[in-house]
Amino acid sequence: KKQGRAEEAERGLRAALAIAHDLGDRANEAAWAGTLGEFLASQRRYAEAERLLAGALASHRALKNARLEGAQLLALAEVQSATGRPGEAEQSLRYSIGLLRGVHFAHAEAAACRGLAALLRERRPGDAAAFAEAVAVEARANEIDPHKEPRP
């Protein structure tokens, strides 16, 4: 039953993407491509997810939509991390944080900060400088979005 619902959701997302494409609505096409990419990533279909996310990212960049570009980088970083590319994920998260801070998208910036902090802890567990940066980045996330529970 759960698989059937996932297939139904995917069909709906693909239909929305196709409609936006047919209408020539680049902004909504990019938004639906990103949403479909995030959904596919949640299904661990990383290759297609990354292709869609990268395309959506390029479109948001071309449309000068820094808010969605930053959010798309956050989703892309999750795929990069899940596919064993922590260096690329770190780079995407850092760029995402800068964009999201610049457009005052606090909730997404906090999520990117938390992602970067976790990545730094994982990637360089014995590195004191990385640990200090992770603590500082997470403190920034908690300052931005205090309703989330801080990590232990």
Instruction: Report pLDDT digits (tens) over 37-48.
Output: 999 999 999 999
As a whole number, mean pLDDT of residues 120-136 equals 79
Per residue in 13-44, pLDDT tens?
999 999 999 999 999 999 999 999 999 999 99
Residue 149 has pLDDT above 70, yes or no: no
Of 47 and 112, the one with more pLDDT: 47
Residue 147 has pLDDT above 80, yes or no: no
The answer to whether the beta carbons of residues 42 and 5 sit under 8 Å apart is: no
Residues 55, 56, 62, CA angle at the centre, nearest 5°?
A: 90
Global pTM reads 0.84
As a whole number, mean pLDDT of residues 80-109 equals 92
Torsion-angle region of 49 (φ positive above 0: left; ψ -120 to 50: alpha; else: beta) = alpha
